[in-house]
Amino acid sequence: MEEASKEELMRRIAGEIILSESPGRVMRKWRSLFELTQAEVARLMKISPSVLSDYENDRRKSPGTGFVRRFVQALIEADELRGGQQVRKYAVFYRSLSAAVIDLDEFESPRTVKEVISAVGGEVLAGEGLLDMPIYGYTIIDSIKAIKLLDAYDFLYLFGRNPMRALIFTSVTRGRSPMVAARLYPIKPRLIIIHGPRREQVDRLAIELAELEKICFALSTLPTVEEVINGLRSLRASGRE
C-alpha cells in the first residue's frame, strides 16, 4: 500500500491518543481493533506487557509523544507481520472521501447500539436483538453524494472497514439503497441508521433486508442533519466522563 496512506493512518491514531483525556483507553481500543494482544505489542515496543497494561488502564501518567509513536509503530509492524490486513483496511478508508462523508469519529470506549440510536432520536426498524452489541465508531454519509461520487471500491471500504461501526445515511428517501448496498458486501456494519423519510415512507424491503442480513436498522427522527451530528458528538464526549 502507499506509504503516504500508512503515515496518515499513523498520524490519526497517534493524534487521537495524545489529544484524549483518557489516552490509555484509546490505546486499548486501537489495539483491540487491530486484534493484537498486549504481549504482541509490548514485545515489539521492547517493554513488558505489565507496563503496557499500566498505560492502557491509565495507572501511569499520560504517555509522551515518543511512547505513543512507538506504540503506533508496534501496531503497524505487528499487523504487517500478519499480512497487513488491518493497516490496509483503516488506511484506505482514510483516503479523501470527504465529498460524501459528512462526519466520522471513533468512540474512546465502545457504546451500545441502543445508545447510538438514542443519540440520534432513533426508532428501531429491525434488529431488536442487537441493541446491546458494542459500537466503536460512526460514519455519517450523504447518500445522494455517495451515489453520485463514490465508486464500488469506495463503498467497499465504507461498509467493510469495521463491522463494529454505525453508518448513518442522510438525504434518504425510502432507505432501500443503503440496505441493498449492505447486502452486496461480505462485511456488514452492525448498525445502519437512515435520516430523511418519515416512518411510513421507509421501504418494507429495506427492513426485510436488514432482518435477513442481521443488521440493526433504525430511523433517526431528528429534524436536521446538524442535530444528528451533534447527537453523536455528544455521545462521544460523554464517554470521556
Q: What is the pLDDT of residues 197-215, one digit of tens each?
A: 999 999 999 999 999 999 9
Global pTM reads 0.63
CA distance 22 to 240: 7
Superfamily, domain 97-238: HprK N-terminal domain-like (3.40.1390.20)
Instruction: Report the chain's mean pLDDT, rounded to a whole number.
Output: 88
Positions of CATH 3.40.1390.20 in the chain: 97-238
Has residue 157 got a pLDDT over 90?
no
Positions of CATH 1.10.260 in the chain: 3-92
HEC letters along the chain: CCHHHHHHHHHHHHHHHHHCCCHHHHHHHHHHHCCCCHHHHHHHHCCCHHHHHHHHCCCCCCCCHHHHHHHHHHHHHHHHHCCCHHHHHHHHHCCCCCCCEEEEEEEEEEEEHHHHHHHCCEEEEECHHHCCCEEEEEEEEEHHHHHHHCCHHHHHHHHHCCCCCEEEEECCCCCHHHHHHHHHCCCCCCEEEEECCCHHHCCHHHHHHHHHHCCEEEEECCCCHHHHHHHHHHHHHHCCC
Q: What is the pLDDT of residues 44-98, one digit of tens each?
A: 999 999 999 999 988 888 899 999 999 999 999 999 999 988 888 777 656 546 5
Has residue 128 got a pLDDT over 90?
yes
The CATH number of domain 3-92 is 1.10.260:
yes
Higher pLDDT, 216 or 3: 216
